[in-house]
Amino acid sequence: MSNKSTNIEELGEFGLIDHLTKKFSIQQKSTLLGIGDDAAVIELSHDEVQLVSTDMLVEGIHFNLMYMPLKHLGYKAVAVNVSDICAMNGIPEQITVSIGVSSKFPVEALEELYEGIHAACENYKIDLIGGDTTASFSGLIISITAIGRGKKDQITYRSGAKEYDLLCVTGDLGGAYMGLQVLEREKEVFKANPNIQPDLDGHDYIIEKQLKPEARLDFIQYLKELEIVPTSMIDVSDGLASEILHICKASKVGCHIYDEKLPIDAKTSMTAIDFNLDPTTCALNGGEDYELLFTIDQKDFDKIKGNPHVSFIGHMTNEQDGKYFIDKSGSAITLKAQGWNHFDEQ
């Protein structure tokens, strides 16, 4: 063991994963892809693969029970894992659920948590097939593993984008982040004066985006109906800019994305302005939208151009051309990821 001491936040989440796993190599022929994408890919047959993804939510880091209902938390924990399977262009089938729980939670509270898990399983038509329960001295911890399936020639990786591909995103962006800002504001008001009721009127849409996000399984099924296989794909969990840069790095390409093309809901925009925030910055760096960011070959444009739930926000370029955000004045700004780092000092 080295005597050198490196702070985890210096590496960040993805840098830490790369650092800790750099010595690992694939030992099994059935492991087609291990670490490095939204899910691992395991061969089942000559034309079919299994997808496996896992995610952990920790109280005080990923959620605050002052405003996150346990039923919503259970639903969200499943949805964010289903989203990873969708990001590989696969269909989710099963989950396992493991929880670490302190003695402060009565059985009834855990029943409420599992009501949310059950609701998500019903909605996404997936099965709960196992898990584990243990004691926790640091609040509630939820770890979910999602298992899915797909055709080998239809699995979409981050690494498949090509120069001239169109860059697309589903839904709208920044809403979950602004929902979080509203909830955090009202939490601070409540802490200062518990007699004041939360002022959440008119914020239903963005609060739901934060508390009960939906994995875009509907869109994966839509792509299959159109017979479109994206050249690359990722879900928007850590912010649009961060996810675009992941695709660029994995695919060895550059990009141009356009401010005027970003889909931002009017409520998101108005709330951002109320908080003295730039709506575009919120869309680029907010995170937790769980929309799908993907690239398609230009020949598929006519198949999908009429869908109101898809925005064409840019295109991929040669890697040497760089990664740029084009603002409304036409100025090219180097794209940087400023999304949330799990290991920043809290």
Q: How confident is the model at residue 344 (pLDDT cuts 50, 70, 90)?
A: low
Q: Which of 17-31, 104-118, 146-160 has the lowest mean pLDDT?
A: 17-31
Contact by Cβ (8 Å): 212, 123 = no
What's the CATH superfamily of 51-154?
PurM-like, N-terminal domain (3.30.1330.10)
Q: How many Cβ atoms sit within 10 Å of the Cβ of residue 85?
A: 29
CB contact set of 249 (below 8 Å; sequence gap of 6+): none
What's the mean pLDDT when you consider all of the chain? 91
Average pLDDT (278-294) is 96
Does pLDDT of 219 surpass 70?
yes
Residues of the chain with CATH 3.90.650.10: 158-334
Distance, in Å, from the CA atom of 326 to the CA atom of 259, rounded to the nearest integer, reads 6
Residues of the chain with CATH 3.30.1330.10: 51-154
CATH architecture, range 158-334:
Alpha-Beta Complex (3.90)
- Read off the pLDDT of residues 111-139 as tens digits, 9 standing for 90 and up: 999 999 999 999 999 999 999 999 998 78
- Judge if pTM exceeds 0.85: yes
Q: C-alpha angle with apex 283: 280 to 289, nearest 5 degrees?
A: 170
DSSP class of residue 59? B
CA quadruple 111, 114, 116, 118: dihedral positive or negative?
negative
